[in-house]
Amino acid sequence: MIKQLAIYTGSKALSIESGVLDFINYTKSIIFSLRSLRYLSFRSIYNIIINQIKFTGVDALVIVMIIALLLGGTVIIQALTSLPKFGVEGFLGNILVIIIARELGPLATALIVIARSGSAIATEISVQKWSREILSMELMGIDTKLYIIFPRIIASIISITSLIIIFDIVAFIGGYLLSQTVVYIPMDVFGQILLDSFTFKDIVAALIKSIIFGITIPLICCYYGLKPSSKFEIPIYVSKAVIRTLFISIIVNIVISVLFYL
Amino acid sequence: MKEDRLDDLILDVQNVTYSVNGITLLNDISLSLKRGDNLLVFGPESSGITNLFDLIVRTDSGYEGEVLFKGESLKTLDYFGQLMHKKEIGYVHGDYGLLSNMTVEQNISLPLEYHSKLSAAEIKKHVGKIIYDLNLDHCRKLRPFDLTRSEMLKTSFARSLVMDPDLIYLEYAFEDQCPLNVKTMMKILNERSQLPDKSLVIITYYPWNFIDISDSFIMFFNGRIVFKGTKEDFLNSDNPYLLQYKNKSIEGPMVIL
């Protein structure tokens, strides 16, 4: 029993190690490919960037705003009703900034982007690979790593940064309005509390999170998108892409929060 | 003298042996192609004709021997050299490899947009001419899934022409086409084959379809060259491998499984 457990654990550890090494090599090869930027004409990736921003950013706007409104409302209602019970209502602004701006905004946005765009990126690339479209690009002398992944990273950084800002604004304003149905707090007082609680560090941390999410989400999803070697493997790798990107995003969120606020 | 010879050759494969996972796919292959000439390579399935692509177009370097393109060894190319080499060859495959999220016009424009310094207007004009020549005007805004097989082939061919490469590599490109629709393409291919300094390599199971446009013929079997000759040789040779292939017979020196 113990022997079997040891074998299982050992083989899992080796499998994780080889997976991590493979991902590191993939990342290195993309960094190496950046050298072919000198051969790349920006106009050839312009459309990919615009389409990806439209899909990841613009098309996700409604769902991000609805979720921001609901989550913002919930947090604000909970804070406004619960904090006075403990006599710490003076920390209302800090609590809201900590929960919504520092943690919930970036993470919830990342989760929405992973669910919508991450899965779409992994599927699109794996289908392109299966139908020899990627090979076809390579045979045109196109550096596919650069052509496929680089514009998606640029588009994701722009989209995620914008979505996080919009999420926070909607969560605060919309959440405030929603909370007025339960408890009353004057708008100017609420606004002042928030402004007093925001620090420059919060803005930098949110910005860094959005940049790292913007890099990691397309990077991991493209990695798994390029993996399938047959049609039946496509759903397997798309599922892996979504789950592992989710996992990594949560880790990234924690690490940045620890580095900034601990 | 040697330099003159190299200058004249667009492709020179010298004593190449190519193995993958311990299986020898090409065994001591030598062939060459002069600028302006057209080479037809044929043979049964698993004969090695498909693997020439790995050496010449995909630039796999795991082989013994030498493959020279315009006098330059493909083995010595680094990552970026390989990309630059690939753009010098127009490649058309029977699967067409069209990008499904792009229109016909965008598919054809892509190599120019990526590689060239031409302005958007110049690219549009250049691509427009190719689209007109290949009679693709009616479908220029359509995506691949809306196209017929002959339109897909023409789009793929147009894309291979757009950089005006010295060599076009056609791999089973016409194998699954309507025999009537393919006539237009054959006419265009015929015109292309007459151009000086422009060469074709045609990989096919049906050599008799390309007799008029090919200058030299090579037949493969079991990773070896079993017949090499001119059009006259192809038509008149009593090479037993060639005869068996031409007769589509399973009896002969080639054991067909």
pLDDT(A92) > 80 = no
pLDDT of residue A184: 78
Q: How many residues does chain B have?
A: 257
The pLDDT-based confidence of A198 (bands split at 50, 70, 90) is: confident
Query: Which residues neighbour A60 within 8 Å (Cβ) at sequence distance 6 or greater?
Result: A112, A113, A116, A117, A159, A163
pLDDT(A235) > 50 = yes
Tell me the mean pLDDT in the region A199-214: 92
- Summarize pLDDT for A5-55 with one digit per residue, the tens: 888 888 888 888 888 999 999 999 888 888 877 777 788 888 889 999 999
Question: In this predicted structure, which of B90-104, B140-154, B174-188 has the lowest mean pLDDT?
Answer: B174-188
Question: In this predicted structure, which of A42-51, A163-172, B63-72 has the lowest mean pLDDT?
Answer: A42-51
Q: Is B95 helix (H, G, I), strand (E, B) or coil?
A: coil
Buried-exposed string B12-48: b where 16+ CB fall within 10 A, e elsewhere:
bbeebebeeeeeebbeebebbbbbbbbbbbbbbeebb
Tell me the mean pLDDT in the region B136-140: 93
The structure's pTM equals 0.84
Integer Cα distance of A251 and A245 in angstroms: 10
Among the partner residues B83, B99, B101, nearest to A141 by beta-carbon distance: B83
- Higher per-residue confidence, B4 vs A207: A207
The pLDDT-based confidence of A180 (bands split at 50, 70, 90) is: confident
B194 phi and psi angles, rounded to 5 deg: -85, -15
Integer Cα distance of A93 and B72 in angstroms: 69
Q: Which of residues 31-50 of A touch B (CB under 8 A)?
A: 32, 35-36, 39-41, 43-44, 47
Q: Does the beta-carbon distance from B87 to A41 stay under 8 Å?
A: no
Give how far B68 is from chain A: nearest CA, Å: 18
**Chain B residues closer than 8 Å to A124 by CB:** 101
The pLDDT-based confidence of B7 (bands split at 50, 70, 90) is: low
Report chain B residues touching chain A, CB-CB < 8 A.
57-58, 79-80, 83-89, 91, 93, 95, 97-101, 106, 110-111, 113-117, 120, 159
Integer Cα distance of A98 and A92 in angstroms: 10
Integer Cα distance of B16 and B38 in angstroms: 21
Among the partner residues B83, B91, B116, nearest to A36 by beta-carbon distance: B83
Taking the CA atoms of chain B, what radius of gyration do you get in angstroms?
A: 19
Query: Which residues neighbour A167 within 8 Å (Cβ) at sequence distance 6 or greater?
Result: A64, A65, A67, A68, A105, A108, A109
Among the partner residues B79, B83, B114, nearest to A41 by beta-carbon distance: B114
Among the partner residues A35, A36, A140, nearest to B111 by beta-carbon distance: A140
Tell me the mean pLDDT in the region A240-256: 95
**Chain A residues closer than 8 Å to B88 by CB:** 141
Q: Is the dihedral of CA B127, B128, B133, B139 positive or negative?
A: positive
pLDDT of residue B42: 95
Helical packing angle, A42-53 and A150-179, nearest 10°: 30
Q: Which of residues 141-200 of A touch B (CB under 8 A)?
A: 141-143, 147
Q: Does the beta-carbon distance from A32 to B100 stay under 8 Å?
A: no
**Chain A residues closer than 8 Å to B92 by CB:** none
User: Least CA distance to B110: which residue of chain A?
Assistant: A44
* pLDDT over 70 percentage in chain A: 100
Query: Which residues neighbour A116 within 8 Å (Cβ) at sequence distance 6 or greater?
Result: A55, A56, A59, A60, A63
Give how far A68 is from chain B: nearest CA, Å: 32
- Higher per-residue confidence, B188 vs B13: B13
- Calculate the average pLDDT of chain A: 89
pLDDT of residue A196: 84
Tell me the mean pLDDT in the region B111-132: 92
Of A205, A242, A262, A259, nearest in space to A110 by CA? A242
Give how far B238 is from chain A: nearest CA, Å: 38
User: Least CA distance to A41: which residue of chain B?
Assistant: B114
The pLDDT-based confidence of B245 (bands split at 50, 70, 90) is: very high
* pLDDT over 90 percentage in chain A: 53
| Contact status of A120 with chain B (Cβ, < 8 Å) | no
Q: Is the dihedral of CA A83, A84, A88, A90 positive or negative?
A: positive
Q: Does the beta-carbon distance from B115 to A141 stay under 8 Å?
A: yes
**Chain A residues closer than 8 Å to B114 by CB:** 39-41, 44, 140-142, 147
Q: Is the dihedral of CA A64, A67, A71, A72 positive or negative?
A: positive
pLDDT of residue B3: 45
The pLDDT-based confidence of B1 (bands split at 50, 70, 90) is: very low
The pLDDT-based confidence of B176 (bands split at 50, 70, 90) is: confident
| Contact status of A136 with chain B (Cβ, < 8 Å) | yes
Query: Which residues neighbour A90 within 8 Å (Cβ) at sequence distance 6 or greater?
Result: none
Q: Is B69 helix (H, G, I), strand (E, B) or coil?
A: strand
Q: Does the beta-carbon distance from B101 to A124 stay under 8 Å?
A: yes
Q: Does the beta-carbon distance from A32 to B79 stay under 8 Å?
A: yes
User: Least CA distance to A136: which residue of chain B?
Assistant: B97
The partner residues of B67 in beta bridges, in order of sequence, read: B13
Are A68 and A170 in contact, with CB atoms under 8 Å apart?
yes
**Chain A residues closer than 8 Å to B80 by CB:** 35-36, 39
Of A217, A206, A220, A216, nearest in space to A256 by CA? A206
Tell me the mean pLDDT in the region A237-261: 94
pLDDT(B12) > 50 = yes
pLDDT(B6) > 60 = no
Tell me the mean pLDDT in the region A195-221: 92
Integer Cα distance of B44 and A133 in angstroms: 26
Name all contacts of B45-48 with Cβ < 8 Å and 24+ positions apart: B45/B205, B47/B219, B47/B220, B47/B221, B47/B222, B47/B223, B48/B220, B48/B221, B48/B222, B48/B223, B48/B224
pLDDT(A90) > 80 = no
When scoring A54, A124, A136 by the number of chain B Cβ atoms within 10 A, the one with the most, hence best to mutate, is A136
CB-defined contacts A:B, below 8 A:
73
Give how far B174 is from chain A: nearest CA, Å: 17
pLDDT(A119) > 50 = yes
Integer Cα distance of A18 and A88 in angstroms: 50
Tell me the mean pLDDT in the region A123-135: 92
**Chain A residues closer than 8 Å to B95 by CB:** 131-132
Among the partner residues B86, B93, B120, nearest to A141 by beta-carbon distance: B86
Paired tokens of A216: 């990691």
